[in-house]
Structure 1
Amino acid sequence: MFVGYLTPLLLSLTVLVRGQLQTGFISIDCGSPVNFNFVDVDIGISYTPDGAYVSTGINNNISSEYAYPNNPNLAYPLSDLRSFPDGNKNCYTLTPAAAKGSLYLLRASFFNASDVITTEIIGASVSDTISVCLVNKGLGIPFISALELRPLNNSIYGTELGSPVSLVLFQRFDIGYTNGIGRCNDDIYNRIWSPYNSPSWNIVSTSSEINSNENGYRAPLEVIRTSAVPHNGSDRLEFSWTTDDDASKFYVYMYFAEVQ
């Protein structure tokens, strides 16, 4: 179980490596039929049904007008879901290979009509199992579409508060990239990156190889190859954001590479 919650801003670049990413991954297609296995050929990751991880809940399919293939941009695991009409708390139990003391990225996805909501937390497991629970707060029947666990290098995403402290993802940006959102084929941690650019910036990129494997963060080349500089070389690059909670503490992780 993860304990403690902080909210960081992650600025950078990430996504996925075909065939190399599976080690230690848990990828669950929540609500899928028994014995049904799906392989995302774009990123090379296999998704399995959730029956082995949870004993409660009901399998449901979303409306066909929103589902794949009528909606080809929707990830296949989001075409079904598991809902929990009974009980105040229902939990998935994950048993990762590395277990106690290891660092993980845990990602849950929820598809409601045309909106995909994805939440991420990074933290160290304090036991050999990790419980992911959906709680009924009186706002409707809880449900979940996909659940993913990714092992991380224990040397990254640290805080001065020590362990066990968890980081909740605020944003993860691919600076200088403007088309789409998703996962890179060369990101061994299978992180999801959002494109980001400013009208006051110039985008610069390179097709040359850049060594991004010298530390545990392993920023994917696909992300490192794009960047931004100010229109005027003497200006600054500025980021700003707002929060609903004045008590939030943000951790910012930035990647730099010379691409010119």
Structure 2
Amino acid sequence: MEKSHGLSMVALIVTFAMIYFVQAQQGFISLDCGLFPNEQSPYTESATGLQYSSDSNFIQTGKISRIQRSLEENHLKPQRTVRYFPEGMRNCYNITVKQGTNYLIRVRAIYGNYDGLNHYPMFDLYIGPNYWVTIDTQENVRKEIFHIPRSNILDLCLVKTGTSTPFISAIEIRPLPNNTYITTSGSLKLFSRFYLSNSEDVLRYEEDVYDIM
């Protein structure tokens, strides 16, 4: 009887942990772009505790690849694969969101010589019809914007601007309280971020419950 009781307690603790995990990330959208079909989806990134899913349900175009093997250890799992777009001038993700909600939208484009060409692509990102930012992948790229969608569908588009091929590694979308980063003039692009701390650790989820750092 005591052994059975102990097993019940373990099951209860595991169940509570799973419920907490789901509730803590409620509304989070974390996409591993280019995740291979034989890899688990969704999965939990061990370093951050965030749950990532394949992007395959959010876009119908593009091809998938992974960064150079020798570079993988420098990046978290969601940044080791890419979806690239050799065809078409404009390729868009269609993501369901809540109209009128303040969102942090974060994208990562880690080139990692995935195509073996050793040539850093450059392309534009748009939110719907509106220009967001130009991506120059000569450095590891992370771009962020605070945006309030005007509909329940968010179109995040990669637009070819030259001869190089647009690609993306990860998309992260976080709902925020509407009194966070208030603006009356549209979306807010990240200019810079400073950590006023002596700590060498970067604050992220779970310490930052909204995962906006």
TM-score (normalizing by structure 2): 0.72
Q: Provide the secondary structure at the position in 1 that maps to 2:71.
A: coil
Residues 95, 154 of structure 2: 8 Å contact kept: yes
Structure 1: give runs of 5+ residues left out of the alignment. Answer: 1-17, 193-260
Moved more, 179-188 or 143-152: 179-188
- Matched AA of 1:129: I
Which of 150, 172, 175 is matched with 2:196 structurally?
175
**Structure 1 residue 186 displacement after superposition:** 1.8
C-alpha contact 2:84 2:166 (8 A) present in aligned 1: yes
* 8 A contact 2:50–2:205 mirrored in 1: no
Q: Which residue of 2 aligns with 1:120?
A: 144
Deviation for aligned residue 1:21: 3.4
Distance in 1, Cα, partners of 2:201 & 2:89: 37
CA distance in 2, matches of 1:176, 1:45: 24
CA spacing shift, 1:56–1:160, aligned 2, 3 Å: closer
Q: Aligned residue for 1:21?
A: 24
- Alpha-carbon distance change, 63 to 182 in structure 1, aligned in 2, over 3 angstroms: farther
- Which whole-Å CA distance do the structure 2 matches of 1:32 and 1:137 have between them? 25
Is residue 92–residue 157 contact of structure 2 (8 Å, CA) maintained in 1? yes
Deviation at residue 160 of structure 1 after TM alignment = 4.0
TM-score (norm 1): 0.60
Tell me if the contact between 2:108 and 2:141 (Cα under 8 Å) persists in the aligned partners: yes
Q: Which residue of 2 is the match for residue 190 of structure 1?
A: 211
Aligned to 2:194, the other structure's residue is in SS state strand
Q: Does 1:166 align with 2:162?
A: no
After superposition, residues 37-186 of structure 1 pair within 5 angstroms as 37=41, 38-67=43-72, 71=73, 73-96=74-97, 99-113=98-112, 115-161=139-185, 165-181=186-202, 183-186=204-207
Structure 2: which 5+ residue stretches go unaligned? Answer: 1-19, 114-138
Q: Which amino acid aligns with 2:91?
A: N
Q: Which amino acid aligns with 1:116?
A: N
Q: For the residues of structure 2 that align with 1:53 and 1:134, how far apart are their CA atoms? A: 14
Shift of 1:172: 2.0
The residue identity in structure 2 corresponding to 1:27 is S
1:166-202, CA deviations, whole angstroms, 9 ceiling, x for partnerless residues?
000112222023515452422121022xxxxxxxxxx
Cα 1:28/1:182, change in 2 over 3 Å: same
RCO higher in structure (CA 8 A, sep ≥6) = 1
Q: Does the C-alpha gap of structure 1 residues 82 and 182 become closer, same or farther in structure 2, counting only changes over 3 Å? A: farther
Aligned residues: percent identity? 34
Q: Kindly tell me: are residues 136 and 43 of structure 1, through their superposed partners in 2, closer, same or farther at Cα, counting changes over 3 Å? A: same
Q: Which structure dedicates a bigger proportion of its chain to helix?
A: 2
The question of whether the paired residues in 2 share the 8 Å contact of 1:21 and 1:45 is answered with no
Secondary structure (helix, strand or coil) at the match of 1:65 reads helix
| Residues 128 and 144 of structure 1: CA distance in aligned 2, closer, same or farther (over 3 Å) | same
Decide whether the 8 Å contact of 1:57 with 1:85 is kept in 2: yes
